[in-house]
Copies of this chain bind each other. A is one copy, B any other.
Amino acid sequence: MVDTKHSGSMTSEPGSARQRILRTASRLFYESGIRAVGVNTLAARAGVTKVTLYAHFGSKDGLVAEHLAERDRRWRETLERVSAGSETAEQRLSAVFDGYEEWTVADGFRGCGFVNAGVELTDPEHPGREIIERNKDGIRTWLTEIAEAAGCPDPSDVAEEWFLLLEGAVVRATLRKDATPLHRAHRAALRLLREEAGG
């Protein structure tokens, strides 16, 4: 009860209404799925009225899209954070796979939020879809830069193969919670790096 700018019933959650909604959406959508969480539940859990939610996001689809954009933003921050301190290409690559491994065995892991959203948002016109694609492009770009830094002759080819291993491992880890898919993907990725860059 320290700095809630605008009064109201106590909602132990700090931050502006908008931030609280986005944070709650991120948690609930990821935990239970987007369709499974109604705006009533969402607003109540965020300590906000439905009117406020609609004033900020216009519609549930709008909220979903902004939630995905926010998630993408945080995801990029995380990627840069776990890579900070890595110097060689091999270290940077390992940082990515280590980060993913840590994530897949953490409590509450339920797969890639963007892939999951892609499964749920069947309408190809949904505003969230382009954010999903943007996020995946971000990963591909990141991996391509590593392959370039390593001096691979075909960086985008190598990056794409790393991406397949990474995405496959996440899917595998989603169904049976286990660190080995990521571990194995990591090993395969390093082997490929040494073959392509070292040779």
Contact = CB atoms under 8 A, between A and B. Distances in A.
Interface stretch (A19-27, A73-81, A172-180): A172-180
A32 interface: yes
Q: Is the interface of A mostly helix, strand, loop or mixed?
A: helix
A90 interface: no
A38 to B, nearest CB: 12
Question: How many copies of the shown chain assemble into the complex?
Answer: 2
Interface residues of A, number: 37
Interface of A: 31-33, 35-36, 110-111, 115-116, 118-120, 122, 132-133, 136, 157, 160-161, 163-169, 171-172, 174-176, 180-181, 184-185, 188, 192
13 contacts: A33-B122, A110-B122, A111-B118, A111-B119, A120-B120, A136-B172, A161-B165, A164-B164, A164-B165, A164-B168, A164-B169, A164-B185, A188-B192
A45 to B, nearest CB: 16
Given A33-B120, A122-B110, A172 B181 contact: no
B136 A164 contact: no
A133 B175 contact: yes
Nearest to A161: B188
